[in-house]
Structure 1
Amino acid sequence: MNKSLSSQEIRKYSLMIWKILIGGIALFAIFISMIGFGLFGALPSFRDIEHPKSNQASEIIAEDGRTLGTYFVQNRSNVTYKEISPNVINGLIATEDTRFKEHSGIDFKRTFTIIGYNLIGKKQGASTITQQLAKNLFPRESNLNFFSLVLTKFKEWIVAVKLERNYTKEEIITMYLNTVDFGNQAYGIKSAARVYFNTAPDKLTLTEAATLVGMQKGITMYSPTRHPERSKSRRNTVLAMMVKSEFLTSEEFDEQKEKPLGLRFNAATVNDGIAPYFRSVLKSDIKAILADPGRFKPDGTPYDIDRDGLKIYTTLNYDMQMYAEEAQKEYMKTLQAQFINSWKGRNPYKDKALQIEQGIKRSDRYKSLKAEGKTEDEITEDFNTKTEMTIFTWKGDVDTLMKPIDSVRYYKMLLRNAMMSMDPTNGHVKAWVGGINFEHFKYDQVKMGTRQVGSTAKPFTYTVAIENGYSPCYSVSNTPVTIEGYGKPYTPGSSGKPLPGAITLQKALAYSQNYVTAYLMKQVGPVAVANLATKMGIPEVPAYPSICLGTFDASVYNMVGAYGAFANKGIYTKPIYLLRIEDKNGVVLFSQKEIPKPVMSEEVAYVMTRMLKGVVTGGTGSRLNYKYKVNAPIGGKTGTTQNNSDGWFMAITPQLVTGIWTGCEDRAFHFISTSQGEGANTALPIFAGFIKKVYANPKLKISHADFEPPKSGVSIVYDCNQYQQQQEETTTELDEKLGF
């Protein structure tokens, strides 16, 4: 027979239970305190909490503030609270932490409720947004045992409380959304908005926001790209929870739940964005700049361009860059077809075994096989065995079965192209297209590559002649000239049928006549021409007579800089494209400004602009007017090298100087006829496509204004009627003095 407990025994047991409970709480408090003091492993310091580290992408910013692209290990760019759509904030709170604005980092009420659910088999997570932020900022180690996992969880509690003490609720939810992983190389809400919906985080709609919030339950399981139906179902769950939390009405839910996902997916890669060649060259420059110990972080370590969230401000104009890339793509399709058609019925690889062999040895495939220890015979067999590969075409990438050696031959016949445009008044580069496709061909042809410049070098010789008193109206017999005194006598030929008789310097430049150019070189000498070209930013120009016809190599970058001096009243400014670098807090780490340098008189520069305009109004560049209907005061110069291996077009306006080069990777591959291979056909049309779009955009403020003459006047006679009259008057005066 059971006896009932006496009141004394009840008090005894009650006291024991309270002792156990209070003792347990005390032990738990001591345990938490020990964790807080770091006895079970270091916790983030106060400085770490104040300045949490996370891999943050560095942004490359165009002159109008738009992002050209990013450098990253994790594609993460931070935003402020005001830059996040309320739809995201509300969806996140409704789904992940309904009492977010009430708790202090740990929601004990929710924690004990969730423990109860888990005990009855309904598995749920209990972490608050602040706790999840703590985990994002200070990631857990992998392969933790049960005790370590529990210990880590308690550490996250402590960090969460510290975060709540140091930051406002708005700052915490912003930090969370900036650090969370959305899959597909999208870290943070800004990257996710662009990758999945091609929009900004403040423009995310209800359904878009709910889709991204829903992914946090499982970025793979609820990925809208991998599992769209599952993602849509999860999105609607988020919307339903927003109704429950009174962020949404039932009517709005009924309207939104039927909408499609509406993805505008654009996978994030380091090549993502416009101007990939430019960004590649820029990255190398920045790495060199940041290697200077004087620009290290306060802790003495160098900045990491891929992790430290730098802001890189450039001179590039977003719209002009787009126009340049579009103009290249539009015309190169046509030109490539012309090129292939020109070789129809002929073997372009005849006598080119050496070039093909060089192409094989420069390929990534050859280098990889060599690294694996393959013999030359084994490599040869590999290159002659069909394999699956993806090749570039102007119609898009093509997956095909092809012998690697055939792909080498194919790419040898693929035309390449590069273009740069610059404001001559300050040297600011506005557009930079370093090649035809960065994914397939990484080599930048704007600054890193050099090619023979051909007739685009002729204006340097004419400039020296004008400086030495020649008028554009001076006439020269258009016949062969031999230049002696500089080694072997030099007698250049004509690139086509020469214009007959005596012609003016203006006409000779307009029609790119070699004989007259050689005549001027004979008068002024190669040293003066080489010195001028060097002062205009073209390095290593040899003082040989042949430089008058452009037998030296130069980059598009340097040629544009040089022509800028003509457009900028005789003042050369080295092209610049990086204005400043700031750290993520806005501290300026590097800045630079243009350095103008006079290289010729304003008067000579003005006369040269008129001569270069003559190339377009009535010379080798005239198709810019009559075919492409670009009717504006534009000066220019076409250039075509030996065997039509390189085609150039240089163009100047008072506000823009542009240079374009076209040719194959190897000079041994070229157009057969000059009519197709000349710069007027291979490069000029790309400028036409570019400048027409530039002029059509009023926001760019590129006017049709002509070059301004010097305020002090021009003593050089460039009006040929006036020049002829002066010559006749001089002849008459001389005859009278001599008594004729």
Structure 2
Amino acid sequence: MKRIKRQVRFGYVWAYRKARPLVQYLALCYAQVREYYRTHPKARKWTIAGLIVGGPPLLLLLVVWIEVPGKRALRNIQNQVASEVYSADSVLLGRYYLQDRTEIRFDDIAPVVVDALIATEDVRFYEHGGVDYESLGRVLVKSILLQEESAGGGSTLSQQLSKNLYPRKRYWVLSMLINKMRESITAQRLEDLYTKKELIRLYLNTIPFGDQCFGIEAAAKRFFSVRAKELTADQAAVLVGMLKATHNYNPRLFPERSRTRRNVVLAQMQKYKRFPKETLDSLQALPLELKYNMVSHHQGLAPYFREYLKGELLEWCRNNTRPDGSPYNLYTDGLKIYTTLDSHLQEYAENAVARQMKEVQKQFTDHWRKENPWQGHEEVIQDAIRRSSRYKALAEKGMSEEEVLDELQKPMPMRMFSWDGEKVVKMSPIDSIKHHIQFLNAGFLAIEPKTGRVRAWVGGIEHDFFQYDHVKVSTKRQVGSIFKPIVYATAIERGAQPCDLVSAAQETYIDKEGDKWTPRNMQNDYQVKYTMRGALAYSINTVAVKMIQQAGVLNTMETARNMGITSELPDVPSIALGSSSISLMEMVTAYSCFANNGMAVHPYYITGVRDRSGNTYTDFKPAEKSKRVLKPETAELIVGLLRTVVHEGTASRLRWKYAAHNNDVAGKTGTTQANADGWFMGMTPELVMGSWVGADDPRIHFRSTELGQGSNTALPMVGYFLQQVNEDSEFKTISKATFPTPSRAAQQKLSCDLYELDDTLWGKLEQMTFKQDSIRAADTLNPAPKESYMEKLYKRKLKMRQASQARDSAALRTLEIEDSGG
């Protein structure tokens, strides 16, 4: 502390010594001036008079001069420009902005816009140098001497541009005069620095058009859904007419007033020979036709993806700097963000989700009828109320819980989501919560397994009402049977074979805490032995648990980690049945490893960012290189097993109901406890798709597995998606792709029929069925015993298998089996 005091004292002494000569000089000058005025009284009077008369103007000029931007600032005009997100096929997905503005070149502006602007706002634009003294004098004479209200404005386009770039300020005196002088000087400087075309471009990129849009490009898209260079004369006249008063002449709010103003602008254009009188009459007779495009972050393609992307981009902006060294601003710097999404695939995915969720919501509503789906869990509503933003806002004001609940019971106009369209009804916020909590939600994700590029991302059913994204890694739900292929892959890596027979008999397991757990199957088939191929096809839980015991729980967890699952996995055998909560993103990533020949896949969704200066950043691919997770043969075998699920098992409806029989598809269904979550993972060689369905609160669900299983809720989304892909010739590489022909060794390991004729499960089934049918046919007097449950079950499965191999869609429709707990 003493050292710091000494340094401060030394600093004072040093500063005093340096400043002392200047202070002495100023004191001497002051003494001389004072002595002069003491000996010359008249000079003192004239000086005082001069200060009184000339001081204010000098002060005014000083203030104006200080406020006028320099030429360096005017050379580097930077409007706030929206950043834009583009798909891989160059379609604009959405924008991030504070001001909805897109800057364009002069050549991208329709000539009729320029004609309308000059004819209406500044007819002598090409003749003056920033300030039109002739027009200004005429306005002063008409408005002051002749008292004409229609004298017009005296500001040129350059002066208006100055006002838009540097908004007016309030001063303690003469604010209007100071602002006008500043705008005039700035306008003249702009004229010195820019050509007339450049000034028009700056003006039309800067000017506000109301409805939160800025610049002619944004206005053209907002009011007419066209680009600025596509505007017609009557459309251009509407937009230019708005500049007089953007609210009063807004064509959306005041169509008749806007049409009248449009015709005035058209008359001005004809007056200055922009087109003949006959054209004027036909243009003025046109009705005002808008194609209004309300810009909202909730609307357009991929809103959930864009919202997720925003967080990534904000982080990127904090870590990257502009040429001047300051961090990028996502909302004002006009960045161009290029992504991996395909606009057509994204549209197909959103269509598929909407179509299926409308159907499944009707099933859900009919299923519960007049009962509340939170029946038995009344706390669901209380929890939802406390999570609502309205509850939190009232609580922050210091209101008690009782007061908040009373307030939330009061009816008011509320926006309400429905699959028939948004409605506005009078209801209480609590009733609104009860209404919206009954909706089932969804997630859909598609990734290229060979590259990791995300091609489609649907995080929910309607972003405006349900903003929780069910794709991103932080959103986790129990995954059910879709985890089983990871178990089987681990077992195969450690020597198990797809055609090994495993008993489906129940066993009781004791966990580390000493608790007992007995897995069960949906079908009462515990006395049967299944091959791994059959157990996965029919989602047999007891076999899956025995396989994880054989492979090792820790080994399975390690395999899952290597395949891209980062969620917590407990060291218990029940993870074989998907008891862990994992995100859709993680599961699609893991399945991509199967389709990528056992190589790990690292998803990415940004390919590049370009700023306004043309600087391009492309370092967005995952830094981690893909590594081998599974042996190629293991991946090949798992794909073969998953193809069996689609051909003969719980996902067979994908082929006969959704016309995916022409696709080479593999997949797995999944259903969690109490039908809270329905899953489906689908794979083609070029695309891995994952879908999930469930209520945001898992305590709300179907009571029936027939309705709530993944094959009924989630699988159809992939089915509808593939239908659209198959119909689009652009995606033949996806729809016509086939998995590589399995090696001879893999074919033998998957061809269980070769070894089942005498000893295997299916062989015994065929023999049993043939024997019993032969007895019944031959001995009508002494028929064979009535078919047992197991005989019926396996006859049905056998017929399903035979119909699938024969591609008999009609037979498959009648024989479709339900999802056996998966």
- Scaled by the length of structure 1, the TM-score of the pair is 0.89
Structure-2 separation of matches of 1:100 and 1:698: 53
2:461 paired residue number: 436
Structure-1 separation of matches of 2:745 and 2:283: 71
User: Given residue 476 of structure 2, which amino acid in structure 1 is its aligned partner?
Assistant: T
2:91 paired residue number: 66
2:494 paired residue number: 468
Which of 512, 515, 520 matches 2:547? 520
Which of 263, 266, 269 matches 2:290? 263
Match status 1:404 vs 2:415: no
SS at match of 1:658: strand
1:225 paired residue number: 252
1:22 paired residue number: none
Question: Against the structure 1 CA distance between its residues 452 and 462, is the aligned structure 2 distance closer, same or farther, given a 3 Å change threshold?
Answer: same
Question: Against the structure 1 CA distance between its residues 689 and 55, is the aligned structure 2 distance closer, same or farther, given a 3 Å change threshold?
Answer: same
Match status 1:615 vs 2:634: no
Paired residues for 1:345-364 under 5 Å: 346-364=371-389
Match status 1:602 vs 2:632: yes
Tell me if structure 1 keeps the 8 A contact 2:598–2:634.
yes
Tell me if structure 2 keeps the 8 A contact 1:458–1:549.
yes
Match status 1:192 vs 2:219: yes
SS at match of 2:668: strand
Structure-2 separation of matches of 1:312 and 1:480: 55
Match status 1:252 vs 2:298: no
SS at match of 1:190: helix
SS at match of 1:247: coil
Structure whose residues are more often helix by fraction: 2
User: Given residue 406 of structure 1, which amino acid in structure 2 is its aligned partner?
Assistant: D
Structure-1 separation of matches of 2:395 and 2:741: 62
2:5 paired residue number: none
- Tell me how far 1:172 sits from its aligned partner: 1.7
Match status 1:719 vs 2:755: no
1:212 paired residue number: 239
Which of 293, 297, 307 matches 2:322? 297
Question: Against the structure 1 CA distance between its residues 364 and 63, is the aligned structure 2 distance closer, same or farther, given a 3 Å change threshold?
Answer: same
Question: Against the structure 1 CA distance between its residues 726 and 166, is the aligned structure 2 distance closer, same or farther, given a 3 Å change threshold?
Answer: farther
Paired residues for 1:692-711 under 5 Å: 692-701=723-732, 702-709=734-741
Structure-2 separation of matches of 1:479 and 1:101: 92
Structure-2 separation of matches of 1:115 and 1:710: 89
Q: 1:453-479: per-residue Cα shift (whole Å, max 9, x none)? A: 111111101111222233322232222
- Tell me how far 1:353 sits from its aligned partner: 2.3
Structure-2 separation of matches of 1:498 and 1:176: 77
Tell me if structure 1 keeps the 8 A contact 2:64–2:178.
no
Tell me if structure 2 keeps the 8 A contact 1:185–1:269.
no
- Tell me how far 1:82 sits from its aligned partner: 2.3
User: Given residue 497 of structure 2, which amino acid in structure 1 is its aligned partner?
Assistant: S
SS at match of 2:750: coil
Which of 620, 625, 646 matches 2:677? 646
- Tell me how far 1:725 sits from its aligned partner: 9.1
Structure-2 separation of matches of 1:528 and 1:493: 23
Tell me if structure 1 keeps the 8 A contact 2:506–2:526.
no
* Range that drifts further, 93-102 or 437-446: 93-102
Q: 1:372-403: per-residue Cα shift (whole Å, max 9, x none)? A: 21112212323344443222221222222334
2:6 paired residue number: none
User: Given residue 205 of structure 1, which amino acid in structure 2 is its aligned partner?
Assistant: T
SS at match of 1:260: coil
1:558 paired residue number: 586
* Range that drifts further, 275-284 or 546-555: 275-284
Question: Against the structure 1 CA distance between its residues 399 and 215, is the aligned structure 2 distance closer, same or farther, given a 3 Å change threshold?
Answer: same
- Tell me how far 1:566 sits from its aligned partner: 1.3
1:529 paired residue number: 556
Tell me if structure 1 keeps the 8 A contact 2:503–2:526.
no
1:680 paired residue number: 711
2:29 paired residue number: none
Which of 446, 451, 455 matches 2:477? 451
User: Given residue 325 of structure 1, which amino acid in structure 2 is its aligned partner?
Assistant: E
1:15 paired residue number: none
* Range that drifts further, 669-678 or 400-409: 400-409
Structure-1 separation of matches of 2:241 and 2:742: 66
Paired residues for 1:256-335 under 5 Å: 256-292=283-319, 295-335=320-360
Tell me if structure 1 keeps the 8 A contact 2:100–2:214.
yes
Q: Answer with 1 or 2: which has the greater Rg.
A: 2
SS at match of 2:296: coil
Question: Against the structure 1 CA distance between its residues 719 and 251, is the aligned structure 2 distance closer, same or farther, given a 3 Å change threshold?
Answer: farther
Structure-2 separation of matches of 1:485 and 1:402: 50
Structure-2 separation of matches of 1:93 and 1:695: 53
Tell me if structure 1 keeps the 8 A contact 2:438–2:700.
yes
Which of 120, 128, 132 matches 1:107? 132
Structure-2 separation of matches of 1:545 and 1:325: 36
User: Given residue 621 of structure 1, which amino acid in structure 2 is its aligned partner?
Assistant: A
Structure-1 separation of matches of 2:248 and 2:172: 25
Structure-2 separation of matches of 1:715 and 1:634: 17
Structure-2 separation of matches of 1:343 and 1:158: 73
Structure-1 separation of matches of 2:80 and 2:233: 28
Q: 1:216-267: per-residue Cα shift (whole Å, max 9, x none)? A: 1111111101110111111122222222232222232222222222111122
Tell me if structure 1 keeps the 8 A contact 2:87–2:341.
yes
Tell me if structure 1 keeps the 8 A contact 2:67–2:182.
no
Tell me if structure 1 keeps the 8 A contact 2:374–2:699.
no
User: Given residue 274 of structure 2, which amino acid in structure 1 is its aligned partner?
Assistant: F
Tell me if structure 2 keeps the 8 A contact 1:314–1:579.
yes
SS at match of 1:530: helix
User: Given residue 696 of structure 1, which amino acid in structure 2 is its aligned partner?
Assistant: E
Paired residues for 1:133-172 under 5 Å: 133-141=161-169, 143=170, 147-172=174-199
Question: Against the structure 1 CA distance between its residues 693 and 463, is the aligned structure 2 distance closer, same or farther, given a 3 Å change threshold?
Answer: same
- Tell me how far 1:298 sits from its aligned partner: 4.3
- Tell me how far 1:601 sits from its aligned partner: 2.2
- Tell me how far 1:407 sits from its aligned partner: 2.7
Q: CA RMSD in A?
A: 2.7
Which of 388, 399, 411 matches 1:374? 399
Q: 1:261-289: per-residue Cα shift (whole Å, max 9, x none)? A: 21111223343432221111111111122
Tell me if structure 2 keeps the 8 A contact 1:422–1:431.
yes
1:549 paired residue number: 577
Which of 117, 125, 142 matches 2:153? 125
Tell me if structure 2 keeps the 8 A contact 1:481–1:518.
no
SS at match of 2:722: helix
Which of 71, 78, 95 matches 2:103? 78
% identical equivalent positions: 39
Structure-2 separation of matches of 1:497 and 1:242: 84
Which of 580, 583, 604 matches 1:576? 604
Q: 1:530-559: per-residue Cα shift (whole Å, max 9, x none)? A: 111111111122232111110001111111
Match status 1:89 vs 2:114: yes
* Range that drifts further, 483-492 or 559-568: 483-492
SS at match of 1:597: coil
Which of 648, 664, 667 matches 1:633? 664
Tell me if structure 2 keeps the 8 A contact 1:277–1:438.
yes
Q: 1:604-657: per-residue Cα shift (whole Å, max 9, x none)? A: 222222221221122111111111212211111111000000011111111111
Question: Against the structure 1 CA distance between its residues 522 and 711, is the aligned structure 2 distance closer, same or farther, given a 3 Å change threshold?
Answer: closer
Tell me if structure 2 keeps the 8 A contact 1:529–1:543.
no
User: Given residue 449 of structure 1, which amino acid in structure 2 is its aligned partner?
Assistant: T
User: Given residue 529 of structure 1, which amino acid in structure 2 is its aligned partner?
Assistant: T
Which of 442, 454, 457 matches 1:417? 442
1:656 paired residue number: 687
- Tell me how far 1:124 sits from its aligned partner: 0.9
Paired residues for 1:17-36 under 5 Å: none
- Tell me how far 1:483 sits from its aligned partner: 4.8
Question: Against the structure 1 CA distance between its residues 269 and 58, is the aligned structure 2 distance closer, same or farther, given a 3 Å change threshold?
Answer: same
Tell me if structure 2 keeps the 8 A contact 1:72–1:270.
no
Unaligned runs of 5+ in 2: 1-52, 761-822
- Tell me how far 1:364 sits from its aligned partner: 1.4
Structure-2 separation of matches of 1:716 and 1:194: 61
User: Given residue 151 of structure 2, which amino acid in structure 1 is its aligned partner?
Assistant: K
Q: 1:314-368: per-residue Cα shift (whole Å, max 9, x none)? A: 1111122222222212221121111011112545333212222211111112112
Tell me if structure 2 keeps the 8 A contact 1:483–1:522.
no
Structure-2 separation of matches of 1:591 and 1:98: 50
